[in-house]
Structure 1
Amino acid sequence: MKKLSTGSLFAGSVITGMVTGRKLTALVALTLFSTGAFSAPETPELSLQEAERLSEMPLHCVTTEYPNKLNQTLSGPQDLQGPASLHPAFYGCFDWHSSVHGHWMLVNLLRHFPDLAKATEIKAKLKENLATDKILQEVAYFEKPQNASFERTYGWAWLLALAAELKLWDDPLAAELSQNLSPLTELIVGKYHQFLPKLVYPVRTGEHPNTAFGMSMAMDYALIAEDKALQSLITDRAVHWFGGDKQCPLSWEPNGFDFLSPCFEELDLMRKVMDKKSFMHWAKSFLPALDNADFHIDVARVSDRTDGKLVHLDGLNFSRAWVMYGLAAEYPDEFGHLRALADTHVTHSLPAIVDENYEGTHWLGSFAVYALQQRARAGE
């Protein structure tokens, strides 16, 4: 079979004429991919066509209430309510944090692709979900004593990413939504100020609580919002926890359910808080082989994409990639060679994000978009 182009492969799981005009299922799509019947292009790109495909995922799931994982602490029977009652803004996409970064993804794609075919529908959903009264109910949820640590720090980080994206989007709706979101944004910023100083040891997991990831996303917000106090806090804590780290055991990664790389997330954070001279010296001790032109790490492989934990490893490929793209963009002379390795990670997992696989589609599109936009920063 002829190798498909970026547009034909990444346009989605609808391939006319190949399966009697019907929608190609996730199983068939992945079988074709794994057997070499078609392959991903070597240079992925977030085109309008790919943005159209990926936008369908959060557009669908931000208002899909069930299935849902609440991750809730109950203080009494009054807390036994449905997701939309507890979280009127962020009740979809299986869990709170995935709903938040689904909204981030919709804002991001509208900012970069204002001509999306469903732009009007997307704007209507954003306006409905991010209404002032709904955001205030989200704030009230966090203010209950039993919810003080809710979504710490992964969901917090994506909420600040959403707030930052609204600040970057030059559209009248963005200003309105940013204002609506501001009480929750301010609450989350306050939570960082409360939590980071009392955290004695950083969390170095490859899943949601990873401290470096939570701080890295928050640093992006702090820079965009010109929040000097938050910038200073993150810089201080990052240097305190990670400044002396050496020889990160990359060979120990990944764990079976990782969607973040502890080593790479630390790299991403320290790139943002250190000047070039300090970072280069630190990185040489942290991952000595990273600046070698032949640096390599194998892509993470998923054995069963219907398993909600195992499919995390597709996310790991995207998050590794965005770290490598970030390094290549910031320091092309030293780390430009990482762009090709990042491309390999993206092209391995991008074709696997297909509509029927809700275990992945409720969140993986956001990771793919984030990685591809970091690639755009890194250039060709």
Structure 2
Amino acid sequence: MKQLLLASVCLLILSCKGNSEDPVENSGDTDSLITESILPDALKTTDKVTLNLTEANNLAELPLSCLNTEYPNKLGQTLENAEAMDEPKALHPAFYGCFDWHSSVHAHWSLVSLLKQFPDLEKNEEIREKLKTSLSSENIEGEVAYFNRKESTAYERTYGWAWLLKLSQELKSWEDPLGQELAANLQPLTDLITTRFIEFLPKLNYPVRVGEHTNTAFGLTFAYDYAEATDNQELMEVVKKSAQSFFLNDDNCPVSWEPGGYDFISPCLAEVDIMRRVLPKSAFNLWIEDFMPQLKNEDFEMEVGEVSDRTDGKLVHLDGLNFSRAWIFSGLANQYPEKFGHLRALANEHVAYSFPNVSGDGYEGGHWLGTFAIYALQESGKQPVK
């Protein structure tokens, strides 16, 4: 009976345009993060980790150091012939650094995000110059050409696609002439990726529920955020329809099976993150009761993902899992503070475990973990919906 009611509600949603009920309210860019001293030598997992200018300067060093680091590099491409082999910078003139394409994309996002939150960053001018050079219209034309190769139809689907849209969203909302210039430069690739999402999602009969890059719920979430921010109704409706088709009837997510050894995304929580966006409050309350009702318990606990070796590129994924769990807990607590406000403490615990290792990490984690830390802290700093 409950599933029939949910289905009826969702049919009503699909027949209407606009945002779902109770959207998360942004509290601004700079003011949304609490600035205070953080990370004492003996950090307890119950301490609140926040972001200040000093830490922002430290975090900015991670993308700055890898943005133009061409090697080591994981291209992840399908070769159509011998001529398809080339140097990373020739193949991806904008996004060749930071080990792989998607990490380079979200390294750019990290720098834009930090500049917006902290205009007084020590390397403000250097960052602006690097962004302007990297995201030139000529370089983006080269990226579009790569994606238009016959063999590149599925390239970076959907994780890299999602981060590209997140970067575009960040640039579009940056009230700075440089942000608007770079958003315009990026637009041809943004349009291509948007079209790829719209064409691909109706053909995906079953979601991918793993804890790594191909997780469908994660890709849908960032695509939805972009669509909402830019009022792209076509993309928004495709994402809503796909999410409801994939996840509406899911019950009793086996969260006790998590984490997997290489996870940096929680399969269960990733579904929660997209469904809180696409369902109105009444429908979401019904859905969460079937899917993961224990989240409502004030004594709900989830142990952090423990990393045994941070020099191993796969094992260090678990630091990323802690950050992504944290931003999902924070988002849920901010949207529905009366039911999920207690999850903020759990988000803090997850961030506090992994954050001390970000700046001092090796390249295996350093080329991408800073982004996850920044996003987790950004979400935790938003004000709850009243």
TM score, norm. by length of structure 1: 0.90
Q: Deviations over 1:214-247 (max 9, x none)?
A: 0000100001111011111111111111001110
Structure 2 residue 14 is matched with structure 1 residue 9? no
Q: Which residues of 2 match residues 179-328 of structure 1 at below 5 A?
A: 179-328=184-333
Shift of 1:379: 5.7
Matched letter for residue 95 of structure 2: F
CA contact 1:328–1:378 (8 Å) conserved in 2: no
Matched letter for residue 85 of structure 1: A
Q: After TM superposition, what 4+ stretches of structure 1 lie above 2 angstroms from structure 2?
A: 5-10, 37-41
Shift of 1:168: 1.1
Matched letter for residue 318 of structure 1: F
CA contact 1:163–1:185 (8 Å) conserved in 2: yes
Q: 1:331 to 1:379 in 2, by over 3 A?
A: closer
Equivalent residue, structure 2, for 1:138: 143
Equivalent residue, structure 2, for 1:98: 103
The match for 2:126 among 121, 128, 139 is 121
Shift of 1:322: 0.3
| Identity score, percent | 54
SS of match in other structure, 1:233: helix
Q: Deviations over 1:110-154 (max 9, x none)?
A: 111111110100000000000001001000000001111000000
C-alpha separation between the residues in 2 aligned to 1:9 and 1:296?
Answer: 23
Shift of 1:284: 1.1
CA contact 1:321–1:343 (8 Å) conserved in 2: yes
Shift of 1:167: 1.1
| Structure 2 unaligned residues grouped into runs of 5+ | 1-34
Structure 2 residue 137 is matched with structure 1 residue 107? no
CA contact 1:284–1:290 (8 Å) conserved in 2: no
C-alpha separation between the residues in 1 aligned to 2:37 and 2:319?
Answer: 21
Equivalent residue, structure 2, for 1:49: 54
SS of match in other structure, 2:296: coil
CA contact 2:59–2:359 (8 Å) conserved in 1: no
Q: Deviations over 1:250-287 (max 9, x none)?
A: 00111100000000000000011011111111011100
Equivalent residue, structure 2, for 1:369: 374
Matched letter for residue 9 of structure 1: L
SS of match in other structure, 1:290: helix
Matched letter for residue 222 of structure 1: A
CA contact 2:330–2:347 (8 Å) conserved in 1: yes
Q: 1:269 to 1:65 in 2, by over 3 A?
A: same
C-alpha separation between the residues in 2 aligned to 1:288 and 1:59?
Answer: 42
Shift of 1:9: 3.4
C-alpha separation between the residues in 1 aligned to 2:229 and 2:60?
Answer: 24
CA contact 2:46–2:348 (8 Å) conserved in 1: no
Q: Deviations over 1:85-130 (max 9, x none)?
A: 1000000000000000000010011111111110100000000000
Number of positions where the alignment pairs a residue of Structure 1 with one of Structure 2: 351
CA contact 2:38–2:51 (8 Å) conserved in 1: no
SS of match in other structure, 1:377: coil
CA contact 1:325–1:378 (8 Å) conserved in 2: no
Q: Deviations over 1:293-336 (max 9, x none)?
A: 00111000000000000000000000000000000100000000
Shift of 1:40: 6.1
Matched letter for residue 212 of structure 1: A
| Structure 1 unaligned residues grouped into runs of 5+ | 11-32
Structural RMSD (CA) = 1.6
C-alpha separation between the residues in 2 aligned to 1:216 and 1:163?
Answer: 15
Equivalent residue, structure 2, for 1:357: 362
Matched letter for residue 120 of structure 1: E
Shift of 1:6: 6.9
Shift of 1:291: 0.5
The match for 1:161 among 146, 154, 166 is 166
SS of match in other structure, 1:201: coil
Matched letter for residue 124 of structure 1: E
C-alpha separation between the residues in 2 aligned to 1:229 and 1:185?
Answer: 14
Shift of 1:206: 0.2
TM score, norm. by length of structure 2: 0.89
Q: Which residues of 2 match residues 31-70 of structure 1 at below 5 A?
A: 39=44, 42-70=47-75
C-alpha separation between the residues in 1 aligned to 2:356 and 2:236?
Answer: 37
Matched letter for residue 285 of structure 1: D
Matched letter for residue 202 of structure 1: P
Equivalent residue, structure 2, for 1:30: none
Q: Deviations over 1:60-88 (max 9, x none)?
A: 11111111100011111111111101000
CA contact 1:57–1:355 (8 Å) conserved in 2: no
Matched letter for residue 39 of structure 2: L
SS of match in other structure, 1:9: coil
Relative contact order, higher structure (CA 8 A, sep 6+): 2
